[in-house]
């Protein structure tokens, strides 16, 4: 595995771990998330980092498009957060946290284990 790709995979893992750490004290609760602007911005920032790392991985080696589930969607979310910030839906971000981040974490763990 290319050193840069490995580094970006570790960046993704770190961002996922950071997001998960925001919910260590309390259960994930959508209503509480919606009311906490600092938490929302922290989550969005980590999703930006994840999206940028996936984008760089795909630019370096397009084969990772099949190794990372929803790779193009992850990059698309990053673009939306950065460029269309006024159209971000709390519901969409929450769905990513609940449904997609655990799958991405599995993919990253698998790829790092294969190195």
CATH number of the domain that residue 29 is part of: 1.20.120
Nearest to 100 by CA among 5, 37, 36, 16: 16
pLDDT of residue 101: 95
Q: Dump pLDDT digits (tens) for 59-78.
A: 999 999 999 999 999 999 99
pLDDT of residue 91: 95
Q: Which two tokens stand for residue 70?
A: 């929803």
- Range 43-61 average pLDDT: 97
pLDDT at 12 over 80: yes
What pTM does this model have? 0.93
Q: Domain of 62?
A: 3-114
pLDDT of residue 100: 94
Number of independent structural domains in the chain: 1
Look over the chain and give the mean of its residue pLDDT values, rounded to a whole number.
94
Residue with tokens 């790709």: 5
């Amino acid at each position: 595995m290319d050193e840069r790709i490995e580094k970006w995979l570790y960046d993704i893992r770190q961002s996922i771990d950071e997001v998960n750490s925001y919910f260590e004290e309390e259960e994930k609760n959508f209503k509480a998330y919606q009311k906490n602007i600092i938490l929302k911005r922290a989550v969005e920032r980590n999703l930006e980092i994840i999206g940028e790392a996936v984008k760089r991985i795909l630019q370096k080696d397009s084969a990772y498009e099949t190794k990372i589930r929803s790779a193009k969607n992850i990059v698309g979310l990053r673009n939306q957060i950065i460029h269309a910030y006024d159209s971000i839906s709390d519901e969409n971000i929450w769905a990513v946290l609940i449904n997609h981040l655990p799958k991405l974490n599995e993919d990253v763990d698998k790829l790092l284990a294969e190195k």
